[in-house]
Amino acid sequence: MAFWRVPLDAQEIQVIRGMVCIIDDRCKGCGYCIEFCPKDILHFSDKFNRKGYHPPVATKPDECVNCHYCEIICPEFAIYSVEIPAETVQK
């Protein structure tokens, strides 16, 4: 920890917030989004979808930074993220 300094403009930087949307019935449970999410916010859910797979669920939805990686790695067009406008984010 001691090696990291806080950037001088850390207070002014607006971290972009995203919302993960999952289309459960398209998911085939490959787990790519869960494995490669840089913030590690996705996990397999316990419920089944219509095809019998476990779709992912965002366990820490507030930590999404809208990087879109789940969206572009998903082979099923089943997950995507949308940006939450800064003014609606509650601190």
Partner 1 sequence: MTTNPKKLAKQPEHPLDDLIRTERIPHIWCPGCGIGTAFSSCLSAIKATGIPYNQFTMVSGIGCSARGAGYIKLDSFHTTHGRAIPFATGIKMANPKLKVIVFSGDGDLFAIGGNHFIHAARRNMDLTVICVNNLTYGMTGGQCAATTPNKAKSTTTPLGNPDAPFNLPLLAYAAGASYVARWTILQTRDLTTAINEAIVHKGFSFIEVLSPCPVNYGRRNKEKPLDTLKLYQDRTIIKNGADPARADIDFEKGVVIGKFIHIDRSTCDDRYTELHRPCSDD
**Shortest Å distance, C-beta 78 to partner 1:** 8
Q: How far apart are CA 91 and CA 87, in angstroms?
A: 10
**23 near 79, Cβ under 8 Å?**
yes
Number of residues that bind partner 1 (CB under 8 A): 27
Residue 15 binds partner 1 (CB under 8 A): no
Residue 21 binds partner 1 (CB under 8 A): yes
Q: Of 5 and 50, which has the nearer Cβ to partner 1? A: 50
Q: What is the DSSP letter of 77?
A: S
Ordered DSSP codes for 4-67: PPPPTTTTT----EEEEEE-GGG-----HHHHH-TT--EEE-SS--TTS---EEESSGGG----
**Shortest Å distance, C-beta 33 to partner 1:** 11
Among 44, 63, 66, 84, binds partner 1 (CB under 8 A): 84
Q: Of 11 and 90, which has the nearer Cβ to partner 1? A: 90
Among 15, 39, 60, 77, binds partner 1 (CB under 8 A): 77
